[in-house]
Amino acid sequence: MAVRKLAPEDMQPQSFVLSPETEAFADKEIAKYPPGRQASAVIALLGKAQEQAGGWLPRKAIEAVAAKLDMAVIRVMEVATFYTMFNLEPVGKYFIQFCGTTPCVLRGAGDIRKVLESRVGEQNHVSADGAFSWLEVECLGACSNAPMVQINDDYYEDLTTENFEKLLDDLAAGRPVKTGSQIGRIRSEPFEAVNTLQDPTLYDGSLVGAWRKRFDEQAKAAETGENAAAMASVPQEAKAAKPTAGRAIESPVADTPAARAKEGETPINPADRKEAADPSTATKGKSHTEEGARPAPQSSKSYVASPTKDGEAVPNSPTTPEAGTPPAQAETRRDGSESKPGVTVDKDNMTS
């Protein structure tokens, strides 16, 4: 999320008065809630005030809304700063919200971004003529028509470098533009040939309950024995309402010694037995004395090395530096790299 802040003082208008239209809208919104609950209308009012102020919320507009709703200004401020749809800094006449989420990026949003950068300039800045400003936003929910942008209240979809340039030219020149898809398709119908949803049975009602019938048939086929083997993996009491499609089907672990014994086989496979007896592959048992001679297991995070059983310090982690060693070279110096193995630590601060 881009860093949001209040517009600087010199951009703020001196005053802001709710227009009669906004007032009327406000009264209508407030009337939706029980008496005393007028604060519930805060989002609607902020939206309307933003519309009135030209796409953004000056500080005075926030105060005007607070006064209208009899709320503390800080409470309205909390709402205005929480929702990213409230712009707190001035925006261009055409405020472009550019979708930079994965589906759009996969379909070429990167090129659209380049167009924006070259034509409009830096994000969150109004272009010199005041016509455009743009902001990268998260998914606007028109992924099937990616890449897309929202300009003021409308979506512009299926953008390419060319048609987006043209769109911006048209907007700047005040020519009428087409909203929605820029390549002529209707809403999100298939990109090329329109060949889905054309089966007439979809619309004559014959498919109602079809899935139920299919499951019933399958269950019947399982009972006839002929297909029993084929259907062995289907649970015996298949619940028709809960098809198992896509679920992992649990079956008993087949190859265990107990299962084999039950079926009259040798509990342990002779081949396995032979392999296990091979001394070359066997794990060697460790003698207890060897284990005891090792240093005590020690956390790499401990500041004090724990001593071994016979009182000596652990040899490979000295706890006191040798006399005369500069602190930067001392073995004991800890710099955090111990606990963050993936991070290179510049001990002597040479790089910066």
Partner 1 sequence: MAKIIVDGVEVDVPAEYTLLQAAEAAGAEIPRFCYHERLSIAGNCRMCLVEVKGAPKPVASCAWGVRDCRPGPNGEPPEVSTKSPTVKKAREGVMEFLLINHPLDCPICDQGGQCDLQDQAMAYGVDTSRFHENKRAVTDKYLGPLVRTSMNRCIHCTRCVRFSAEVAGVPDLGALWRGEDMEITSYLEKALGSELQANVADLCPVGALTHKPEAFHYRPWELTKTDSVDVMDAVGSAIRVDSRGREVMRILPRVNEAVNEEWITDKTRQIVDGLRLQRLDRPFVRENGRLRPASWQEAFATIASRVKGTDTKRIGAIVGDLAAVEEMYALKLLMESLGVTNIDARQDGSVLTPVYGRGSYLFNTTISGIEDADAILIVGSNPRIEASLVNVRIRKRWRAAPPPIAMIGEHADLTYPYEYLGAGPETLSELTAGRHSFMEKLRGAERPLIIVGQGALSRPDGLAVLSTVAQLARDVGAVKDGWNGFSVLHTAASRVGALDLGLVPGEWGLNAQTMAQGEVDVLFNLGADEIDIAPGTFVIYQGTHGDRGAHRADVILPAATYTEKSGTYVNTEGRVQLANRAAFAPGEAREDWAILRALSDVLGHRLPFDSLNALRAKLYAAYPHFAAVETVQPADGFAAIQALANIGGTLGREPFVSPVKDFYLTNPIARASGVMAECSALARELKLEAAE
Query: Of 34, 74, 174, 297, which one interacts with partner 1 (CB under 8 A)?
Result: 74
Verify binding: residue 304, partner 1, rule CB under 8 A.
no
Give the C-alpha separation, 28 to 41, whole Å. 10
Q: What are the φ/ψ torsions at residue 149 (nearest 5 degrees)?
A: -135, 160
Handedness of CA 137, 143, 146, 149 (dihedral sign): negative
Among 72, 232, 240, 345, binds partner 1 (CB under 8 A): 72
Q: Does 85 bind partner 1 (CB under 8 A)?
A: no
Q: Which one of residues 32, 33, 37, 82 is an interface residue with partner 1 (CB under 8 A)?
A: 82
| Whole-number Å distance between alpha carbons of 196 and 194 | 6
Strand partners, 96: 134, 151
* Closest distance to partner 1 from the beta carbon of 65 (Å): 13
Among 40, 339, 345, 346, binds partner 1 (CB under 8 A): 339
DSSP 4-40: --PPPGGGS-S-----HHHHHHHHHHHTTS-TT-GGG
Q: Smallest distance, Å, CB 7 to partner 1?
A: 13
Which C-beta is closer to partner 1: that of 75 or that of 212? Answer: 75
- Burial of 45-69, coded b for 16+ CB within 10 Å and e otherwise, reads bbbbbbebbebbbbbbbbebbbebb
Determine if 12 is a binding residue for partner 1 (CB under 8 A).
Answer: no
Q: Which is nearer to partner 1, 12 or 152 (CB)?
A: 12
The one among 254, 343, 344, 350 contacting partner 1 by CB under 8 A: 343
- Tell me which stretch binds partner 1 (CB under 8 A): 19-27, 132-140, 183-191, 336-344: 336-344
Residue 286 phi, psi dihedral angles, 5° rounding: -95, 140
* Residue 82 amino acid letter: F
Q: Does 11 bind partner 1 (CB under 8 A)?
A: no
Nearer residue to partner 1 within complex by CB, 6 or 231: 6
Q: How many CA atoms lie within 13 A of 102 on its CB side?
A: 0
Q: Which is nearer to partner 1, 9 or 255 (CB)?
A: 9
User: Which of these ranges, 70-78, 136-144, 191-199, 209-217, lies near partner 1 under the rule CB under 8 A?
Assistant: 70-78
Task: Provide the minimum distance between the beta carbon of 123 and partner 1 in the complex, in angstroms, as a whole number.
Answer: 17
Tell me which of 28, 175, 214, 340 binds partner 1, using CB under 8 A.
Answer: 340
Determine how many CB atoms are found less than 10 A away from the CB of residue 104.
25
Among 286, 288, 301, 309, binds partner 1 (CB under 8 A): 301
Q: x/- site string to partner 1, residues 258 to 297, per CB under 8 A?
A: ----------------------------------------
CA distance 117 to 135: 11
Tell whether residue 81 is a contact of partner 1 (CB under 8 A): yes
7 CB burial (10 A radius; 0-12, 13-18, 19+): middle
CA atoms within 13 A on the CB side of 313: 8
Strands (E), the chain: 94-99, 132-137, 149-151, 154-157, 180-181
**Which of 342, 344, 349, 352 is the binder for partner 1 (CB under 8 A)?**
342
Q: Which stretch binds partner 1 (CB under 8 A): 40-48, 167-175, 182-190, 335-343?
A: 335-343
Identity of the residue, 72 or 330, whose beta carbon is nearer to partner 1 in the bound complex? 72
Number of neighbours of residue 17 by Cβ within 10 angstroms? 11
Q: Which stretch binds partner 1 (CB under 8 A): 37-45, 74-82, 219-227, 312-320?
A: 74-82
- Closer CB to partner 1, 72 or 183, in the complex: 72
Instruction: Return the percent helix, strand and coil in the chain, to nearest 5.
Output: 35, 5, 60
* Contact footprint for partner 1 (CB under 8 A): 1, 3-4, 72-75, 77-78, 81-82, 301, 339-340, 342-343
